[in-house]
Structure formats: structure tokens, C-alpha cells
Structure 1
Amino acid sequence: MARASNSKGKTRIQKEKTEQILSAALDIFSAYGFRGATIDQVAEKAGISKPNLLYYFDNKEAVHAELIKRLLYIWLDPLNQLNEEGEPVEEICAYVQRKLEMARDYPRESRLFANEILQGAPRIDTLISGTLKLMVDEKVSVIANWVATGKINDVDPHHLLFSIWSTTQHYADFDVQVRTLTGPKAKDRFEDASKYLDFLFRSALTPRS
């Protein structure tokens, strides 16, 4: 478990050191996954000694657990904002944009999540089977109702969400590939992706007159 990082009376220096450790850990875990990462790598990346790091966190598991806890709030917020009372196509397209913005602004978090999934999700099983599933079930019901009432085309709600996740998170998880293949246009990759994905999902969802 975390030590100084969870202390109610922690000082400014303790707060800064905790954030320094977690930022370094995010780099390491997102690059190597939990199994490949070591506490020595995190300490070196953070620019502190291993004993100093272990003053703040008991072990690698404690550092990783804190990252996952933070990831939970970031990861669920875009889906949570999907509004049942809004205009369906606009709501879904806005969700696509929020997920793309996450890929742009939180690439390390996206790769951290992807690494965990690839390893069988042993440390985020509770997130997937609990909080995430409850929210997905709720939003799937909303999308299914939009389909049933003819507000959007007949799409499978689960596979719609999976498609949104895969097309948006690709720009974080495979950023090197995207930048390499787009060449000089790489600097505009998120702007271009935004336009394309909006066209793609809007076309798929909008009922024909």
C-alpha cells in the first residue's frame, strides 16, 4: 500500500515527490507492462533512490495500484457523459471525440490499460467486471432504446462501443505506426482523425430519410 502518498498531513514536498514517482511509473508501466517493469526502473526514471521511492510506496504493486485507481476516473468519464436525453447521433459522435481527445491527451494511460488487457487483466479485473461493466450495461441500454425508437440505425450497441474504442485508442496505442505511415501529415493526425471518425460514425448511425 502507499505510505506517504496517502498521509492526510502530507507536505508539499511529499505531494510533489509522489507525483514525480507516479509520472515516472506511468512511463515505465505503459512501456513495459506490469511484468516487464521493475521498481528500479521507476526509481531511475523518477531520478530518486530506490529506498526513497519505497518510503512512499511499499512495492511495485502499490505504485501500480495507485495508477490504476487514477485511471479508473479518467477512463470512465467520457462514457459517463453520454446523455440519454440528448440527440442520439450527436451524443455518440461527441463521445467519439472525447475518446479521441483521451488518446491525444492521455497516451500513457491508454497504453497502460492496453498492456493490462493483453496480460489477461489480472490487476484490473475488478474494474472491468465491476464498474466498467455496470456503466457499459447502462449505456448499452440507452443505445438499444435509440435503435428501437428509430433514432439511430440498427447497430449492435456493444460492437458500436468496441468500434469506438478501437478506432480512437489506436491513435495512442499505435502512435509510432500512425506517425510513421502518415509522414508529413503526422502533425495533423488528431485533427484529421477527428474529421474522419465523425464522418464514419455519423454516416453509420444517421437513419436514411
Structure 2
Amino acid sequence: MTTRKTASRAKAALVEESDVSKSRIRQLNETAILSGAERVFARAGFGGATMAQIAEEAGVPKPNLHYYFGNKAELYRAVLDRVLHDWLSPTDVITADADPREAIESYVRRKMALAYERPDASRVFANELLHGAPVVGEMLQSELRRTVREKAAVLDAWIAAGRIAPVDSTHFFFTLWANTQTYADFDVQIQAVLGADTQSPRARKRALEHVLNVTLRACGLSSLPNSSS
């Protein structure tokens, strides 16, 4: 009897392990496909991108794309959905009980990191907006609007408590997005003006310090210590 129970437990464990393994493989495949699609859509746009190009960029067989996402329109929407969620995630540091300076600095740093590490994410999203947001319009009016209102309310509470200088708490986010995402969307313009490698650690540090100082000063907060600005 004991042997049967032991064997049954072992079989259950194997099944669970198998399920976990399959889930992990699916997650890895979906991530690879979404990352590859992000790069292709950023370069070619929705109309110019093909499933064959995305499969090659992602390093997976073309049938896998259809298995996980059905068609190009479904995959495009999934890419945009991931970009929006990844961009909204850094706002989790802006809470009522957070230190305003620490929260704002952390948010700016994370947004700048996204601009440098995933510029194609910014570009594909910007291209969608330039075309009137036909796919993500609903998400902008629901999830994005809700998040901005919640975080703007936190800034308003900080202002009321005298913790930061008065700012338009909603336009604060518009300005911050413009200041950070320009390093992804218009990197070629920045390179042309500077005549230098904008991706070097020194160049990134210079840009980050500038955006941080502009943002902090607008809120009446102290700028970075020993800043080159």
C-alpha cells in the first residue's frame, strides 16, 4: 500500500514538473516572439512587417507564431500591450507614502533605461500613435488614463502637503515621457547634433543627469549632487 502511495506521489510530481516545464517553454517562446516582433514592427511598421520576417528575427519556426498568436494583427496587439504595460510598470514607485525625490528619481531612471535598452518598443508605440492609435486607442482611454489619474492624485497630495513645488500633475507625465522617450524615438537626431556615440556610458550618463535635474528642479527638489550639469 505504501509503495502504491509513493508511486502515485512520484507520478503526480512528474506531471506537475512537466506542466511547469511546458509553461516555462511557452513563456520563453512567447517572449522571444514578442521581442522579435517588436524589432520588426519598429523598422517596417505593421503594413511592411511579415510573419516570416518576425519568425526569422525571433529565431523560431514560422508555424510557432501562428500557434501562439494566430495572425499578424493579434501579434501586433500583443506587442503594443506589452510595451504599454512595461512603460506603466515604473509608476509603481509613485505612492502616497513614498519620498517624492526618491520616487521621482527612480521613475526617471527606469524610464531612461527603457528608452536605451528597448528603443524599438518606444518606436513601434510612437508609430501606432502617429497613425491615430487604431489598435491601442481603447487601452489609452482606459488603462493609461486610469494610471495617470491615480499617479497625478499622488503628486497633487504631495503638492498640498508642501512636499513638492506646484506643477500640473497630469502634464508632468506628458513632459516626462517626452523627455525620456526622445532618446529612443529621435536618437538619430541626437547623434547628428552631438556628432558622437549616444550609446556610450558617458553619453547616457550625461543625458540621464540632464533629464533628472530638469525634472527634479521643476518639482522644487534638489538636483543631483556633484552633477556635471
Question: 1:83 offset after TM fit, Å?
Answer: 2.3
Q: Which has the higher contact order (CA 8 A, sep 6+)?
A: 1
Matched residues, number: 202
What does residue 171 of structure 1 align with? Answer: 183
Question: 1:18 offset after TM fit, Å?
Answer: 4.0
What does residue 136 of structure 1 align with? Answer: 148
The answer to which of 130-139 and 77-86 deviates more is: 77-86
The answer to which of 109-118 and 175-184 deviates more is: 175-184
Structure 1 residue 195 and structure 2 residue 209: aligned? yes
CA contact (8 A) 1:150 1:207 kept: no
Root-mean-square deviation (CA), in Å? Answer: 2.7
Q: Percent identity?
A: 38
Question: 1:55 offset after TM fit, Å?
Answer: 4.0
The separation in 1 between residues aligned to 2:71 and 2:126, in whole angstroms, is 22
The separation in 2 between residues aligned to 1:134 and 1:93, in whole angstroms, is 22
Change (3 A) 1:11 1:75: closer
What does residue 119 of structure 1 align with? Answer: 131
CA contact (8 A) 1:110 1:172 kept: yes
What pairs with 1:97-108 in structure 2 (closer than 5 Å)?
97-108=109-120
Structure 1 residue 36 and structure 2 residue 16: aligned? no
Which consecutive residues of structure 1, in runs of 5 or more, have no partner in the other structure? 1-6
The separation in 1 between residues aligned to 2:175 and 2:69, in whole angstroms, is 37
Q: Which entry has the higher C-alpha Rg, 1 or 2?
A: 2
CA contact (8 A) 2:37 2:54 kept: yes
Which consecutive residues of structure 2, in runs of 5 or more, have no partner in the other structure? 1-18, 223-229
